[in-house]
Amino acid sequence: MRYLPYIRYAVPVLLVGYVLAQALLSYPLTGTSQLHERTRFLGMLLPAGRVERVAAGMRLVGEPVYLDVRLPPRAQAYELEFITAPGSLPLKLGVRQGRDWSYDFPKVEATPTSTSGTTYRITVASVPYAEPDHAARVIISAPELSQGSITVARVQVRLMREPVSFAWLWRAIKQAL
């Protein structure tokens, strides 16, 4: 019974420990979005006038369309999977390279599936440019959009982070000052 008054410290210690573990450990972070609203790691398709919401996901009305990937601190790489609805036309994906709106269009893996359309996978091994709020921009282009429609059913993201080290901590402190 003499330890009972100290129980009130257990909850804050457990919560702070959990938050520190989430912030410091370097396992990959994953998330999925149907692009109807902003999520923890993915923004919405922009500009809003070039997309419309349908039952199967978001249909591209005009092109190009942009998607912001919201990166946590220490993010060093990410992978995106765009899953399109069956019967959608092909996509072309690019990654923003700098402030001057230049984009790199790497080779994208397109894997057709029998039930969910086509999966387009783009892997960015090192983040070339991120906005000051830690957002990397991806461009979605559809050269053949006038011949049909494209519906993006969902997007999955996988973020890889740099391991925590004293060098990383020192860089973060210097950058903050």
Asked, for residue 9, whether it belongs to a domain, the answer is: no
Cβ(161)–Cβ(26) below 8 Å: yes
How many domains does the chain divide into? 1
Asked, for residue 1, whether it belongs to a domain, the answer is: no
From residue 116, give the alpha-carbon distance in Å to each of 22, 36, 66, 103, 151.
33, 18, 22, 28, 11
Asked, for residue 5, whether it belongs to a domain, the answer is: no
Residue 119 pLDDT exceeds 70: yes
Asked, for residue 115, whether it belongs to a domain, the answer is: yes
Asked, for residue 4, whether it belongs to a domain, the answer is: no
pLDDT, one tens digit per residue, over 122-170 is: 998 888 777 767 788 999 998 888 888 899 999 999 998 776 667 767 8
Domain that holds residue 126: 29-161
- pLDDT (0 to 100) of residue 171: 78
The token pair that represents 78 in the structure block: 């990410």
| Residue 111: CATH number of its domain | 2.60.120.200
Asked, for residue 176, whether it belongs to a domain, the answer is: no
- pLDDT (0 to 100) of residue 1: 64
What is the pairing mode between strands 65-70 and 75-84? unpaired
> pTM for this one?
0.76
- pLDDT (0 to 100) of residue 26: 63
Residue 68's nearest CA partner among 43, 103, 48 is: 43
Cβ(110)–Cβ(88) below 8 Å: no
From residue 121, give the alpha-carbon distance in Å to each of 12, 79, 84, 106, 132.
41, 7, 11, 11, 26
Asked, for residue 171, whether it belongs to a domain, the answer is: no
- pLDDT (0 to 100) of residue 3: 74
pLDDT, one tens digit per residue, over 43-55 is: 999 898 999 999 9
From residue 21, give the alpha-carbon distance in Å to each of 24, 81, 125, 175.
5, 27, 24, 23
- pLDDT (0 to 100) of residue 138: 93
When comparing pLDDT for 145 and 177, which is higher? 145
Residue 5 pLDDT exceeds 80: no
Cβ(96)–Cβ(128) below 8 Å: yes
pLDDT, one tens digit per residue, over 65-113 is: 999 998 887 788 899 999 999 989 999 999 988 888 889 998 888 999 8
Asked, for residue 103, whether it belongs to a domain, the answer is: yes
Cβ(150)–Cβ(58) below 8 Å: no
